[in-house]
Each structure stands twice: as structure tokens, then as C-alpha cells.
């Protein structure tokens, strides 16, 4: 099924404390915990790369202001 990707997010993974609130908030489940550790020892949040609907819920919930949200001028469709 084609996934709509209306935007994308950038996560400052060094700033992230791995709290998981963005992952819980994302309505399209496009954020996950990274396998890697950051230098604080957390598994930071990571955008899977597609499917973001630019709803900003992750930005709303991030208590460390790690996330920047962009909306594509023209939405992308991907498999």
C-alpha cells in the first residue's frame, strides 16, 4: 500500500533522552528507538524515513525540543 509522506522530521539525537513520548504520540508510527546509543547512553528516537504526515504531534510532546518538523511543498508518495 502506498504511504503518504507529507513532510519529515529531524531529531537531534544527541539531545534526545529516549523518553519515547514522540514514539507514543506519532499517529502513523514512523518514529522508533534507534539501535544505537547516543553519548548520554540513551537509545534516541529515530524517524524511519517516510510516512510523516507533518502533524507536529511529536514536536508537541518532545520535552527536550529535539524535533524540527517540515512539510513538503508537494507531498510524496512512496511504497
Partner 1 sequence: MSEQVKDAILLASMPKALNGKEFTYCPGCHHGIVHRLVAELIDEFGLREKTLLVAPVGCSVFAYEFFDVDGTVAPHGRALAVATGMKRAKPEMFVLTYQGDGDLAAIGTAETIHAANRGERVTTVFINNAVYGMTGGQMAPTTLLGMKTTTSPYGRDPKREGYPIHMMEIMRALPGVAYAERVKVSRPQDVPKAKMAIKKAFYAQLLDVGFGIVEVLSTCPTNWGMDPVEASRWLEENMVKEFPLGVYVDKVTEVMKEKGVK
Residues that bind partner 1 in the complex, under the rule CB under 8 A? 7-8, 15, 17-21, 24-25, 42, 54-57, 59-65, 67-74
Shortest Å distance, C-beta 47 to partner 1: 11
Residue 30 or 67 with smaller CB distance to partner 1: 67
Rounded to 5 degrees, φ, ψ at 25 are -80, -25
Residue 56 or 79 with smaller CB distance to partner 1: 56
What the block records as the C-alpha cell of 21 is 513520548
C-alpha distances out from residue 32 to 7, 19, 23, 71, Å? 17, 11, 6, 20
Amino acid at each position: 500500500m502506498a504511504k503518504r509522506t507529507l513532510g519529515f522530521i529531524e531529531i537531534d539525537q544527541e539531545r534526545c533522552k529516549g523518553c519515547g513520548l514522540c514514539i507514543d504520540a506519532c499517529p502513523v508510527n514512523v518514529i522508533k528507538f534507534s539501535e544505537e546509543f547516543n553519548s548520554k547512553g540513551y537509545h534516541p528516537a529515530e524517524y524511519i524515513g517516510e510516512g510523516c504526515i507533518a502533524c507536529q504531534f511529536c514536536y508537541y510532546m518532545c520535552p527536550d525540543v529535539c524535533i524540527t518538523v517540515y512539510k513538503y511543498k508537494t507531498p510524496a508518495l512512496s511504497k
